[in-house]
Amino acid sequence: MKAGTDWARPPEDVKLLYVDSRAEAFRDQRFTELPELLGKGDLLVLNDAATLPASLRAGDVEVRLAGELEGGAFRAVLFGAGDWRTDTDVRPAPPVLRAGAVLRFGDGLSAMVESVSTVSPRLVSVRFDSTGAALWESLYRHGRPIQYAYLSKPVPLSAVQTSYAARPWASEMPSAGRPLRWPTLSKLLEGGVKVATLTHAAGLSATGDRALDAALPLPERYELPAETVAAVAAAKRVIAVGTTVVRALEGNARSNGGRLVAGRGVTDLIIGPTTSLSVVDGILSGMHEPGSSHFSLLTAFAPGALLAKAAAHAEGAGYLVHELGDSTLVV
């Protein structure tokens, strides 16, 4: 598989690798053919979080917001000199900041470091000097989307939003749903597939710090509506659109004795080959390279050997990885 070099594969051209775990088989499809792979009684659960302009500059320090915390502070990861054009793993480390340090972003916007993580000095909590509408206006004025060096040009905020994005909770795009546009959604609904939503604050996928990367994904907040809980209970199969939906649903169930309970919560669940799933039956995801945490999550849905064969096929077939590339459906 290869990384994309432009903004994105156009939704109508997105490839879909269909992996059937029971038949231990896989085949190439188009994403627009998704309605042919799902049927009456299936439930597609979407993460409707909008993507924040979560990258801010404070002089030579880049601050990447990694989720709002209870009480209004934000978790953030700090980067040194440079920008997205430099590979994350070789970016210089930022200066070590201590609690009480102030980061100034211009036009009067600033934030104070409230705490520094013991996992890495690059992981901090910050509190902005503005709140409410004034803060959001400043974030959208000063911030830009988080992106990585495999792309060839800057990505506009509009390019990292799903067609059903609602509240700005996500640090990075809940990208599994990027190619899921209304023509495809309409065909799914016409075929008897139900659609429900939850909101999950998708965090960062890389930090440039090995210790911190090993701790990813960090705990992330979510909100599960009562309507979605009811839809899951009535579904024949539950198909999660993205890893964030899996974490929210399975994390919620684990916190509530195996049943879903509507409301807000935080999940630190990390899913892999030994994880027993109690809610989700399948996943619609982006293409992920073997060895990545996202690929490891797929092994909860299908044997690792089958996924490895599918990944090798995808590499030879020119599938694009990362959040603006192609897709896979594992059931």
The domain limits of the chain are: 2-51+155-330, 55-142
Angstrom CA distances, 179 to 10, 124, 261, 310, stand at 8, 33, 29, 21
Kindly state the DSSP code that residue 129 receives in the 8-state scheme: S
Helix ranges restricted to H, 81-196: 132-142, 182-190
Q: Which CATH superfamily is domain 55-142 in?
A: QueA-like (2.40.10.240)
For 206-262, how does the pLDDT look when each residue is reduced to its tens digit (9 = 90+)?
999 999 999 999 999 999 999 999 999 999 999 999 999 999 999 999 999 999 999
Kindly state the DSSP code that residue 219 receives in the 8-state scheme: P
pTM of the full predicted structure? 0.93
* CA 162/CA 93 separation, integer angstroms: 32
Q: Hey, what CATH topology would domain 2-51+155-330 get?
A: QueA-like (3.40.1780)
* CA 151/CA 199 separation, integer angstroms: 27
Average pLDDT over residues 124-138: 95
- The partner residues of 224 in beta bridges, in order of sequence, read 263
* CA 43/CA 301 separation, integer angstroms: 16
For 102-129, how does the pLDDT look when each residue is reduced to its tens digit (9 = 90+)?
999 988 899 999 999 999 999 999 999 9
Find where tokens 């409230």 sit: 114
Q: Which pair of structure tokens corresponds to residue 201? A: 């604050």
Indicate if 55-142 has the same CATH topology as 2-51+155-330: no
| Bridging pattern class, strands 55-58 and 15-20 | unpaired
Average pLDDT over residues 40-68: 97
Query: Is the peptide bond preceding residue 217 cis, with omega within 30 degrees of 0?
Result: yes
Diameter over CA atoms, the chain: 59
Sorted by sequence, the CB contacts under 8 Å of residue 11 that are 6+ apart come out as: 31, 178, 179, 180, 181
pLDDT of residue 8: 65
Average pLDDT over residues 5-18: 80
Query: Do 123 and 116 meet the contact criterion of CB atoms below 8 Å apart?
Result: yes
**Which among 224, 289, 226, 272 has a CA at the least distance from the CA of 252?**
224
Residue type, 277: L
